Amino acid sequence: MTIHGERSYDERFVHFVVLFNVDLDYFECHEVMEELWLEEGRNLLYQGLLQAAVGLHHWRNDNFSGAVKLFNQALQKLEHYPDAEKGLDLRQLRSDVARSLMLLDNGNGNGNGETARPAFVPFEVVVLDDQLRLLAEALAEIPLEDRLHVEE
């Protein structure tokens, strides 16, 4: 379903923003965005957003190599887009992903031959578009179990 106003946003895109920023449910972000990504012809922006979410999911679950891999892939996709796209601040997102990579890289060793465990540091996708922000705020008010469910 597409939500119309000054701009059109697929409901799954809005749900992705809420899952990412409010619920911090990066696995569900992947599920929601993957469906949209496949339906929209494997859009690189959607893939980059999906990979940033999966990178956070891996990091939170102490899969540091998986996080690094996904964050690097996300940056490769997102670098092709302007600083603002689809109502999101991609400049800030690229910066946050790069900072996460730096934190993960700095945690690879502590000089004693041991691997340090870098603390999980989540970030948000910054919403620039007022309409998208309002849609996300409204969706966030709905209990998680009553929100959009990806059809299987």
Report pLDDT digits (tens) over 94-123: 999 999 999 998 766 444 445 677 899 999
Per-domain residue ranges of the chain: 11-108+121-144
Selected from 1.10.3450.10, 1.10.3720.10, 3.30.56.10, 3.20.20.70, the CATH number assigned to the domain covering 11-108+121-144 reads: 1.10.3450.10
Report pLDDT digits (tens) over 44-97: 999 999 999 999 999 999 999 999 999 999 999 999 999 999 999 999 999 999
Q: How many CA atoms lie within 13 A of 109 on its CB side?
A: 3
Record the pTM. 0.87
* Residue 87 DSSP code: T
Q: What is the reported pLDDT for 120?
A: 95
| Torsion sign over Cα 78, 59, 35, 13 | negative
DSSP lists the bridge partners of residue 88 as 85, 127
| Rounded Cα–Cα distance for residues 147 and 142 (Å) | 6
